Chains A and B, each alone.
Chain A
Amino acid sequence: MRSAVVIFAIASGLVGGLFSSAWMNGMAIQRVENTFSLETAHIQFHNPQFSENQDVRRTIGSTEDKLKDLLKIDGVRAVTSRLKTQAMAATANKNMGVTLVGVDPISEKEVFGLYKKIDTSSGDFFETKRKNSIVISKALAKELKVKLKSKIVLTFQDYNGEITGAAFKVIGIFKTDNSTWDKMHVFVKNADLRKVLELPEGQSHEIDILVDDYLQASVISSQLQEKYPDILSEDWSKIQPYISFLTDYMDIMMGVFMIIILGALGFGIVNTMLMVILERTRELGMLMAIGMNKKRVFIMIMLETIFLAFVGAFVGELISMLLIKYYGINGIDISSMAEGLESVGYSAITYPFLEPFRYLQITVMVLITGILASVYPAIKAIKLNPAESIRTV
Chain B
Amino acid sequence: MRGRKVLQYVLLMAVAVVVLFPIYITVVNSLLSPDTIGHRPPVLFPTHPHFGTYSTAFHEGHLGTYLRNSFFMAAVITVGQVITSVFAGYAFAMLRFPFRRALFITFLSTLMIPFEATVITNRHTIVSLGWENRFPALIVPFLATGLGTFLLRQAFLGVPRDLHDAARMDGYGHWRFMARVAVPLARPTIAALAIFSFLGAWNQYLWPLLVTDTDRLRTVQVGLRQLEGTSIQQINVTFAGTVLAALPIFALLIIFQRQLVRGLTAGAVKG
Chains A and B form a bound pair: no
A interface residues with partner B (beta carbon < 8 Å): none
- Which positions in B face A, CB cutoff 8 Å? none
